[in-house]
Structures are given as structure tokens and as C-alpha cells.
Chains A and B, each alone.
Chain A
Amino acid sequence: GQNIDQPTEMTATEGAIVQINCTYQTSGFNGLFWYQQHAGEAPTFLSYNVLDGLEEKGRFSSFLSRSKGYSYLLLKELQMKDSASYLCAVSQRGNAGKSTFGDGTTLTVKP
């Protein structure tokens, strides 16, 4: 099986930087996804990390350490619209197309 852990809730201030962590335990790890989900809406893709290191996409960056079973999503210059849930999901090799999702981190951005 897989065990994916992320904080339930986080609060940050507009304009600040926030780091959302995700740890996982899995066999046959292939890659890790981050999705954003606004309240009442569907999840949307943010990033996918397969190799160790940091990948940057504008204000959002995602980091992966395969040896530590650890990833984080870094959000810079926070905006009110960044208030949402952030889901990490792990894909496994040979797992017949399935990804397993964590319970998500609800981020609240305050003025």
C-alpha cells in the first residue's frame, strides 16, 4: 500500500511565501503530482516530478527527494486566489494507471 501525509491546513499572508510538504511511503515509486483544487471545483494539474530536484513554474515550484520520500510545493508572492486545497498524488510503476492521492492541504491566504 501507500501512505501519503500532508498537513491538513495552513494559513499565510498575501505576498508571502508558503511551503506545503508531502511525505510518502510507497514501493515502485514513479513520480509525484501536485494538483490545486478550489472549493467546489475540480482539481487542476500544477506539477509532476519524476527526478530529484526543484522544478519552477512561475510563482509555483515543486521539489522532490526520492531517497527521502519527500516533496514540497512552494508558492511565492501569494495572492488571495491561491486560497485552495493542494493535493499531492503518487504514481507507481506498473500500477495499472493508478495514482494515490493524499488528503490535501487547505491553504488560506489572508490580506
Chain B
Amino acid sequence: IAGITQAPTSQILAAGRRMTLRCTQDMRHNAMYWYRQDLGLGLRLIHYSNTAGTTGKGEVPDGYSVSRANTDDFPLTLASAVPSQTSVYFCASSEEGSTDTQYFGPGTRLTVL
């Protein structure tokens, strides 16, 4: 069982380019989340999904979009990357929602130049 995987591991991207970060889980969890973590700071929620077909905005959603076509996949798209989006991005999942333990993917380190 892989748990939760993310791709790519790291990426350097030119400003203005479009980029999709991939996240897949095989635990059949209903809820999934995208966070960004900047140096020395905690995790800030970008978008979340409580179940397939639904998504919601987190604390810092601007410049990002998500989709949840099925239970397993939750891609995060940067439509036009900007340098302030340089960060480490973590995807997470939980069985249901906020009262359940979240399991995190290994992260994607994104640099926007």
C-alpha cells in the first residue's frame, strides 16, 4: 500500500507558466487537502475536498484551483505561476473530515523564477 503520493518531487518553473501538482491516495479516504508550507512557518490550507465531486477554499486559495473527479486523485493547478508561490506543497487525506487524522504525502518543492 503506497498511502499517499505526490508528483513531481520538485520542480523549477518560470513565472507565468501553468503547473499541475498531482496527488493520489489509495486509502479510500473521503477528505483531501492541499497545504503550502513556507520556510519557518506552519501549514496553510489552500483548498480541500470533503468527498469526490466537492471542493472548498482554504486560507490561501488565490492563484490555485483544484478538482476532485474521483476519490483517489486531487490535483492542484497553478494557472499562471508567480514567485510568491515558491513553497513546499503537501497533499493530505483523512477518512472523513477535521476530526480524523490527516496523512500527508511527501511534498512537492516548487520554485517559481
Give the contact-size bracket for chain B: 20 to 34
- Chain B nearest CB from A57 CB (Å) reads 13
Cα A3 to Cα B59 in complex, Å, equals: 13
Q: Please report the total number of A residues contacting B with Cβ < 8 Å.
A: 25
Asked if B96 is at the interface (CB within 8 A of a chain A CB), the reply is yes
> A64: shortest Cβ distance to chain B, in Å?
14
**Contacts known (A48-B101, A103-B40, A103-B42); A96 close to B106, Cβ less than 8 A:** no
Residues of A close to B59: CB separation below 8 A: 100
Contact between chains at A31 and B99 (CB < 8 Å) = yes
List chain B residues, Cβ under 8 A from A31: 99
Contact residues in A for B94 (Cβ distance below 8 Å): 97
Q: Tell me the residues in window 11-39 of chain A with beta carbons closer than 8 Å to chain B beta carbons.
A: 30-31, 33
- The reply to whether B43 and A87 form a contact with Cβ atoms under 8 Å apart is yes
A43 touches B90 (CB 8 A): yes
Question: Known: A42-B90, A42-B105. Contact between A98 and B45, CB under 8 A?
Answer: yes
Central interface residue in A95, A99, A101, by most chain B CB within 10 Å:
A99
Contacting A104 at CB < 8 Å: which of B42, B45, B99?
Answer: B42
Supply 4 further A-B pairs (C-beta < 8 A) apart from A43-B104, A97-B48, A98-B56.
A33-B101, A96-B50, A96-B98, A100-B59
Contacts of B75 in A (CB 8 A): none
Which residues of A84-106 are within 8 A (CB) of B? 87, 89, 91-92, 95-104
- Interface check B65, CB cutoff 8 A: no
Q: A43-B43, A43-B90 are in contact. Are A98 and B98 (CB under 8 A)?
A: yes
Which of chain B's residues have a CB closer than 8 A to the CB of A96? 48, 50, 56, 97-98
Contact of B104 among A44, A50, A91, A103 (CB under 8 A): A44
Contact with B98, one of A8, A41, A91, A104 (Cβ below 8 angstroms): A91
Q: Contact at A100–B90, with CB atoms within 8 Å?
A: no
Chain B residue numbers with a CB within 8 Å of A33 are: 101-102
- Closest B residue by C-beta to A8: B40
Q: Given the interface contacts A30-B98, A92-B98, A95-B98, does A100 sit within 8 Å of B103 by beta carbon?
A: no
